[in-house]
Amino acid sequence: MPILHRYVLRLFIKVLLVAFISLTGLFIVIDAFNNLEEFLTYSKTQGWYVLVDYYGPRVLTFFDRISGMLGMMATMFAITSMQRSNETTAVMAGGISQLRLVKPLVAGVLAVSLLAAANREFLIPRFREKLARNAQDWLGDTARTLHPRYDHQTRILISGRHTFAAERRISFPKLRLPESLAQFGRHLAAESATYRDADGDRPAGYLLDGVEQPANLAELPSAALEGRPTILTPRDTAWLQPGQCFVASDLTFEQLAAGNSWRQYSSLGQLIAGLQNPSLDFGAEVRVTVHARLIQPLLDLTLLFLGLPLALTRESRNIFVTAGLSMAIVATFSLVTIACHALGSSGYLLSPALAAWTPLIIFVPAAYGLCHPLWAVPPGRSSPVAPQN
Calculate the CA 133 to chain-centre distance.
15
Q: Which helix (H) or strand (E) holds 59?
A: helix 49-84
E-strand stretches of the chain: 144-145, 149-151, 156-159, 162-164, 169-171, 174-176, 187-189, 192-196, 205-209, 223-225, 228-232, 244-248
Give SS3 for 376: coil
Rounded Cα distance between 243 and 190, Å, is 9
* CA trace torsion 60, 163, 175, 238 (10° rounding): 100
Question: How many angstroms separate the Cα of 195 from the Cα of each of 47, 88, 224, 228, 348?
Answer: 30, 62, 19, 18, 36
Is it true that the peptide bond before 373 is cis, omega within 30 degrees of 0?
Answer: no
Tell me how far apart the alpha carbons of residues 288 and 342 are, in angstroms, rounded to a whole number: 9
Give the number of other CB atoms < 10 A from CB of residue 22: 10
Q: What would you measure as the largest C-alpha separation in the chain, in angstroms? A: 105
Q: Torsion angle of alpha carbons 15, 16, 20, 22, nearest 10°? A: 0
Provide the pLDDT for residue 388: 41
Per-residue pLDDT of the chain (389 residues; tens, 9 = 90+): 788 889 999 999 999 999 999 999 999 999 999 999 999 888 888 888 899 999 999 999 999 999 999 999 899 888 888 888 888 878 888 877 788 888 999 999 999 999 999 999 999 999 998 998 889 888 888 899 999 999 999 999 999 999 999 999 999 999 999 999 999 999 999 999 999 999 988 999 999 999 999 999 989 999 999 889 999 999 999 999 999 999 999 999 988 887 777 788 999 999 998 888 888 877 788 999 999 999 999 999 999 999 888 777 765 566 777 778 888 888 999 999 999 999 998 877 899 999 999 999 999 999 988 887 776 544 444 444 444 44
Which spans in 119-162 are helix H? 128-131
**Main-chain phi, psi angles of 95, to 5 degrees:** 85, 15
Residue type for 230, please?
T
Which residues fall within 8 angstroms of residue 333, CB to CB, at 6 or more apart?
Answer: 302, 303, 306, 359, 363
Half-sphere exposure of 115 (CA within 13 A, CB side): 13
Q: Give dist(CA 31, CA 53) in Å, integer.
A: 14
- Cα–Cα distance, 245 to 183 (Å, whole number): 14
Report which of 148, 133, 141 is spatially closest to residue 262, judged by C-alpha positions.
133
- Round to whole Å and give the CA distance between 220 and 185: 11
Kindly report the pTM of this predicted structure: 0.85
